[in-house]
Structure 1
Amino acid sequence: MNQMPIQTVQTEEHQNQYSLLQQLQTGRKKKKLSNSTTADQKLDFIKAEEHKPIDDTVDSFLSHDDDSVDNTNTPFKILKRRSNRPNKTEHKGFTFGEVSCLHSFKSKVLSCHFSSDGKFLASAGHEKKVLIWNMETLDFVKTSEDHSLLITDVRFRPCSTIFATSSFDKTVQIWDSAKPSKSLFKLVGHAEQVLSLDFHPGKVDLLCSCDSNNEMRLWNINQRACIHVSKAATKQVRFQPRLGMLLATASGNVVNVIDVETNKPQSCLKGHNKEVLSICWDPCGKYIASISEDSARVWSVSGGECLHELRSTGNKFQSCTFHPAYSQFLVIGGYQCLELWNPNESNKTLAIDAHRGLILHWQIVYTLK
């Protein structure tokens, strides 16, 4: 297979300038927070779990968490680094490990997203509310319960306190994290459960959403109107970072790449045997990673070809993101663990224990030393 060019740090000396997931509580130096999109890697896995779907059109990952999970409302800022169960790995010049953990409620978290300035983290799921975490104080506030059913995705508008949510109640709602008591307005038009959404990185008034009936809608949120409807996405939609010229969508077992200006397909990336559950871009927008239960793939956008593939050996893949500072690493979420994979090196992964169940959606926090 062709090797993807390494687009970030090339030497161990340069890599040692960074440390991951350290000193979040002390607020030391400036933090950089990133989305679930970056460039060059794949992974392996560990355990598997069977679970039942709650809807014929939606994957089983939307089922409720086990009631045995702790339900504490302890503020995040008073939680300390876990010393009784260290989960820290040093790999080629950087550390990767758990800083702290919070159970704010029993309901499953389905999505999370950082604001562009890294000051806020929004998380949402079965509770039908969004938790907005202040990353300076590490406290959180909750939005009102304006959605009538679970929230499937949450995304911040670039360089703004505004964010959007999609829901099983067939609506998209727009919020302001500075005034979270009530949503600003609702976008109505989808006939089925809305499963994903994303803001354009440059045209910040442009929002894309998709539903379980493979319908994708482009919205102008200033006009509060739908400007285009097509059949192109079911599971997830993600704009190309920086320029936003392209839109990647997951539909069935394929990934579609669409020209945003013309609304025409540019390529159809085929190869997964099972439904694609998660997609992400590298920071430069040249590569796309896609995840199904049994495999992870990295694709060249320009060539429309699969550069690397990682097959599952037991654990079910669920989510993925390229590392923001080390784009040669792809990090995959599965059952109870995260796996770091460098596809240019091998088909072996470095597994790190994480949550008690499936890792459906997550982001990386890293600190510049």
Structure 2
Amino acid sequence: MASYDLSMNRRATALAVPTNDIAVRTRLSLLGEPITLFGERQMERRDRLRTLIAKLDADGQLETLINAHEQELEETTTMAATAKEADEFYTVGSKQLLEARKFIAKFSIRRASNRLQRAKSMRDDTLPALNRAATFVLDASEIGGDRPLTGCSFSKDGNFIATCSLNGNGGIWNMPQLTKTCTLKGHTNYATDIAFSPVTDIVATASADQTACLWDVKGTLLTTFTGHADRLTRIAFHPSGDYLATASFDNTWRMWDINTATELLLQEGHSRGVYGICFHPDGSLAASCGLDSRALVWDLRTGKNVLALEEHVKPILGIDFSPNGYQLATGGEDNTCRIWDLRKKTSVYIIPAHLNLISKVKFEPQQGYYLVTGSYDMTAKIWLSRDFKLVRTLFGHEAKVTSLDISGDGQHISTVLYSYDRTVKLWRSSKVSPEEKSMDID
């Protein structure tokens, strides 16, 4: 008996056991032993584990027990993997969707190459653009209708502005006089958003009547898209101009073929209503946000969700990719704007931007030199994208700012703000003085 105890002590001393107390508790649990005894300290618990393993080893039971635990662990892992596979499901796509994915892949490669070349050529031209961000002044203001305005968009050439309203109608306005040229009538409920195509003078509108419509600048209805089961929120054109994305309170967003007026993609993933949708400037990705306080990034070439951004604590209402290709801005009901770095997969800036919810965020469309945020605190603010420092607050609204847009000329940047005072306001970047050109923005 004494020799057996001595042999056990030698075995126990020679055994390697974990030094981490959590690992020791886990090992005891796997061996079917209590993870702790009354009054037992960490070193005593580790010695108990060593003695227990030595006894099992001496009795020839250790290898059998280890094999049983390994089999149990393998079965548990297999069950977890099966459950995960059950959560992931795929719907067989149409031939049109396959062709669209191929087109988007080729299109995005060309756009990415052009973006990189443009970024290199414009690297030394950042200071004038940064200086212009601080010089916006109110240039024009017009009553937009008899009901509050909900959306706005510049045409690709900056000659027109499109607006939509709670009366269900849209409007096309000449620039820069803000004279109305036509009215878009066709929805049976209030309009929620409006967007110009980045390629042609086609306008898309979204409505609470669960439909989206396409119009020309003369006010002629071209196409109506139906299929959503709840009201639409935001819409966005793909950079190619061939596809339109619609977000809805039915917890989905959809992508439509403009040329054939067919639905290509019905994308689930949000647990509550989808409020915002936007496309990457290369056209390869789409980003959606919603009332579940999440922003999801989707690869349009494969259909997979590649990134989930979950640091907002309240619903996200605004989302936009930067033209630099690697930043994404989100804003919502927590009054903050977050800047996400897609390369690091995390937020790199948290801007306590406003005193009320943020309704829309928009990057300057050339190189993303600055970011504009609109809020229910009756202001819009301009932030430098270099360090997201506030350089201008646009006052002049008597109520909530519900939407905004930025023209795409790159030289004289204009912003259009729509608010519940029923006005459309045009803000113009004033001429940069020589003093401003020479100043250094810290």
TM-score by length of structure 1 reads 0.70
- Secondary structure at 2:358's aligned position in 1? coil
Question: Relative to structure 1, is the Cα distance of residues 11 and 218 closer, same or farther in structure 2, using a 3 angstrom cutoff?
Answer: closer
Match for residue 326 of structure 2?
286
Instruction: Report the CA distance between 1:326 and its aligned residue.
Output: 7.2
Q: Distance in 1 between matches of 2:353 and 2:159?
A: 36
* 2:206–2:234 Cα contact (<8 Å) kept: yes
1:298 and 2:412 matched? no
1:332 and 2:332 matched? no
* 1:117–1:159 Cα contact (<8 Å) kept: no
Cα root mean square deviation, aligned:
2.5
Q: Distance in 2 between matches of 1:299 and 1:12?
A: 21
Match for residue 394 of structure 2?
352
Q: Distance in 2 between matches of 1:325 and 1:223?
A: 30
Question: Relative to structure 1, is the Cα distance of residues 173 and 13 closer, same or farther in structure 2, using a 3 angstrom cutoff?
Answer: closer
Unmatched 5+ stretches in structure 1: 1-6, 21-90
Q: Distance in 2 between matches of 1:109 and 1:246?
A: 29
Deviations along 1:91-129, whole A, 9 cap, x unmatched?
Answer: 4xxx11211111132311111111111121111021211
Q: Distance in 1 between matches of 2:166 and 2:204?
A: 16
Instruction: Report the CA distance between 1:318 and its aligned residue.
Output: 2.1
Q: Distance in 2 between matches of 1:321 and 1:336?
A: 17
- Secondary structure at 1:327's aligned position in 2? coil
1:216 and 2:257 matched? no
Question: Relative to structure 1, is the Cα distance of residues 166 and 345 closer, same or farther in structure 2, using a 3 angstrom cutoff?
Answer: closer
Match for residue 437 of structure 2?
none
1:142 and 2:182 matched? yes
**Aligned residue runs from structure 1 range 112-123, under 5 A:** 112-123=152-163
Instruction: Report the CA distance between 1:360 and its aligned residue.
Output: 1.4
* 1:318–1:358 Cα contact (<8 Å) kept: no
Amino acid aligned to 2:383: W
Match for residue 362 of structure 1?
404
TM-score by length of structure 2 reads 0.59
Match for residue 65 of structure 2?
none
Q: Distance in 1 between matches of 2:316 and 2:158?
A: 29
Q: Distance in 1 between matches of 2:254 and 2:194?
A: 16
- Secondary structure at 1:14's aligned position in 2? helix
Amino acid aligned to 1:218: M
Q: Distance in 1 between matches of 2:258 and 2:365?
A: 28
Unmatched 5+ stretches in structure 2: 1-118, 414-430, 432-442
Match for residue 68 of structure 2?
none
Greater C-alpha radius of gyration = 2
Q: Distance in 2 between matches of 1:109 and 1:131?
A: 10
Aligned mate of 1:161, from 188, 194, 201:
201
Amino acid aligned to 2:280: Q
Instruction: Report the CA distance between 1:12 and its aligned residue.
Output: 8.2
Segment drifting more, 224-233 vs 185-194: 224-233
Q: Distance in 2 between matches of 1:323 and 1:351?
A: 16
Deviations along 1:268-306, whole A, 9 cap, x unmatched?
Answer: 111000000101111132211000122110001222110
Amino acid aligned to 1:220: D
Amino acid aligned to 2:372: V
Amino acid aligned to 1:337: T
Match for residue 186 of structure 1?
224
* 1:129–1:142 Cα contact (<8 Å) kept: no
Match for residue 73 of structure 1?
none
Match for residue 321 of structure 1?
362
Amino acid aligned to 2:287: A
Amino acid aligned to 2:128: H
Which has more helix, going by share of residues?
A: 2
The count of aligned residue pairs is: 285
Amino acid aligned to 2:368: S
Question: Relative to structure 1, is the Cα distance of residues 153 and 350 closer, same or farther in structure 2, using a 3 angstrom cutoff?
Answer: same
- Secondary structure at 2:402's aligned position in 1? coil
Match for residue 128 of structure 1?
168
**Aligned residue runs from structure 1 range 1-369, under 5 A:** 14-15=128-129, 19=132, 91=134, 95-135=135-175, 138-177=178-217, 179-180=218-219, 182-202=220-240, 204-232=241-269, 234-241=274-281, 243-251=282-290, 252-294=292-334, 295-311=336-352, 314-324=355-365, 327-334=368-375, 335-342=377-384, 345=387, 350-365=392-407, 367=412
* 1:215–1:232 Cα contact (<8 Å) kept: yes
* 1:152–1:194 Cα contact (<8 Å) kept: yes
* 1:238–1:248 Cα contact (<8 Å) kept: yes
Instruction: Report the CA distance between 1:150 and its aligned residue.
Output: 0.8
- Secondary structure at 2:225's aligned position in 1? strand
Question: Relative to structure 1, is the Cα distance of residues 210 and 327 closer, same or farther in structure 2, using a 3 angstrom cutoff?
Answer: closer
Q: Distance in 1 between matches of 2:125 and 2:256?
A: 43
Amino acid aligned to 1:361: S
Deviations along 1:188-214, whole A, 9 cap, x unmatched?
Answer: 111110112211112x22111121011
Instruction: Report the CA distance between 1:19 and its aligned residue.
Output: 4.7
- Secondary structure at 1:201's aligned position in 2? coil
Identity of aligned residues (%): 26
Segment drifting more, 257-266 vs 345-354: 345-354
Which has more strand, going by share of residues?
A: 1
Q: Distance in 1 between matches of 2:339 and 2:202?
A: 31
